[in-house]
Amino acid sequence: MKHIYLNLKRFDVPTEYGGVNRIAPVADWAEFIVKNTQEELKKYDPAQVEFGMYFPEIHLLNAVKARSEGSPIKVGCQSVYRADTAVGGNFGAFTTNRPASSMVAAGCETTIIGHCEERNDKMGILAEAGVTDTDAVNRLLNQEIKCAISRGMTVLYCIGEKSEEQEQWQEVLGKQLEIGLKDVDTSKVVIAYEPIWSIGPGKTPADKEYITKIAKFVKEKTGGMDVVYGGGLKQANAAMLASIDEIDGGLIALTRFQGEIGYYPEEYLEIIQLYMEG
């Protein structure tokens, strides 16, 4: 089974506010993305590949509403809170947070948890309190994963090492897997590997040998869980990633990195075609 995920981050922000959205007015943005991709994605066998799209929360209702009959798109949210509502218990005292129950009620089937940007945010908050233990972040993410799965959602769980952690990559990734997946039904989880040290302008992308090494490690550590490349599936690396037997798909974000950078549905579809034919 192949998995193609799309993390739309905050790509809804218009360029006049410093964002990269040139494709549609904000109110129509999610609908535009779903309607301009779902019909083309129907040509792929749903038994062989799944498509998940992680929207910023404000766009979830429009994304779900825009799906046509038989749409292969699974709409997802960008993580969930580590606690949830319960009948006879907490009925919603989660101001600023998004419990898994609210996301499922909105139509979400999947969620992305542990993305490096989420990890950085949590680590920053803990650092303000004088906590430097990265295991604390993994424990919080473990709670989020359990909440999502308990509500019937599938999870894309992101792991990755920073440049200063590269020499200890086995220990770092090992703890992210062991702690993050503790007592979790892993049949509901796909792992996304993000080589954080290689992501961003001016950085050298992780090569095939390195990605293969990590993917093999993850599969050995987890008993063969599916692993996708979370460092950015794009036109430039689609064929290379498709040639790695241990990689089961990828995570797409930006589709254009020069000129009018941003996410463009037609380019998203091109990346998928390159990967599936690679």
> How far is residue 145's CA from residue 184's CA, in Å, rounded to a whole number?
8
Encoding tokens for residue 23?
């494709």
> How far is residue 37's CA from residue 8's CA, in Å, rounded to a whole number?
14
DSSP string covering 88-115: TS--S--TT---HHHHHHTT--EEEE--
The angle, 0 to 180 degrees and rounded to 10, between the axes of the packed helices 134-150 and 116-128 is 130
Q: Which residues lie across from 21 on neighbouring strands? A: 14
Q: How many residues does the chain have?
A: 278
- Catalytic residue, candidates 3, 50, 59, 115: 115
Residue 110 region by backbone torsions, left for phi larger than 0, else alpha for psi between -120 and 50, else beta: beta
> How far is residue 146's CA from residue 189's CA, in Å, rounded to a whole number?
10
CB 240 within 8 Å of CB 212:
no
Q: Is 3 a catalytic residue?
A: no
Q: Is 260 a catalytic residue?
A: no
Encoding tokens for residue 156?
């894309």
Encoding tokens for residue 120?
């950085």
Which residues are marked as active site? 115, 194
